[in-house]
Structure 1
Amino acid sequence: MSVIEPLLSVEFEVFGKVQGVFFTKYLKEMSEHLGLSGWCKNTKKGTICGKIQGSKTGIDHMVVWLTTTGSPGSKIERCELTNWQTLAKPELKGFSIRF
């Protein structure tokens, strides 16, 4: 009997040198690789914000990426993770970069 992994949702904001370094492009690719859905966008204050949803394992991997790795050329100072939720079913489909 297999254990069903919980679906999680979390909002994030990444601070540091994260604009102008293809952060959103790499974030979208990583999300798709991990099977996560959601969105991200540049903010006027120079950060990247968004929301990701998916398996706990996928979210755990993405949190590490958002807080330590990022895109080549980025320099992450910190990542704030808020509004953690457990979902009965996914609310978002696919991953998009918003403008």
Structure 2
Amino acid sequence: MSTNRQLVSVDYEIFGNVQGVCFRMYTEDHGKKLGVVGWVMNTREGSVKGQVQGPADKVDEMKQWLRTTGSPSSRIDRAEFSNQRDVPDLELRGFSTRYH
């Protein structure tokens, strides 16, 4: 089995200066460019959280981007990833911004 065919899902939460700096928009755009699906939203605590699903290598690229890049005006202090699991099929469609 090719690693490109293995689909994974992972939850994330990004801490730092990540609200009011277009972080969600850039995350959505980057997810779409990579061809992964998922969602992103602000939390009441000032972080950004969401979920990413797709081929393992593309999800790894997205995790690296969330950990180190973000939006041009953001400052990422910490990125936490949890609940990573293999999925037989994508459970989400597209990449969207969610609101409370």
The reply to whether TM is greater than 0.5 is: yes
RMSD: 1.1
2-structure distance, mates of 1:13, 1:60: 15
In structure 2, the residue matched to 1:51 is 51
Letter in 2 for 1:70: G
- Could you list the runs of 5+ residues in structure 2 that have no partner in the other structure? none
Instruction: Show the counterpart of 1:89.
Output: 89
Distance 1:52 1:85 in 2: 11
Matched to 1:6, the amino acid is Q
- CA–CA separation in structure 2 for the residues paired with 1:89 and 1:73: 35
SS at match of 2:30: helix
Q: Deviations over 1:53-94 (max 9, x none)?
A: 001111111011010111001000000000001010110010
Quote the sequence identity (%): 43
1:21 is aligned to 2:21:
yes
2: CA distance, partners of 1:54 / 1:5: 9
- TM-score after normalising by structure 1: 0.95
Q: What SS does the aligned partner of 1:58 have?
A: helix
Deviation at residue 5 of structure 1 after TM alignment: 2.3
After TM superposition, the runs of 4+ consecutive aligned structure 1 residues lying more than 6 A away are none
Residues of 1 paired with 2:48 and 2:97: CA distance?
A: 10
State how far apart, in whole Å, the 2-side matches of 1:88 and 1:5 are.
10
1:37-61: CA deviation from partner (whole Å, max 9, x where unpaired): 0111000000000000001111111
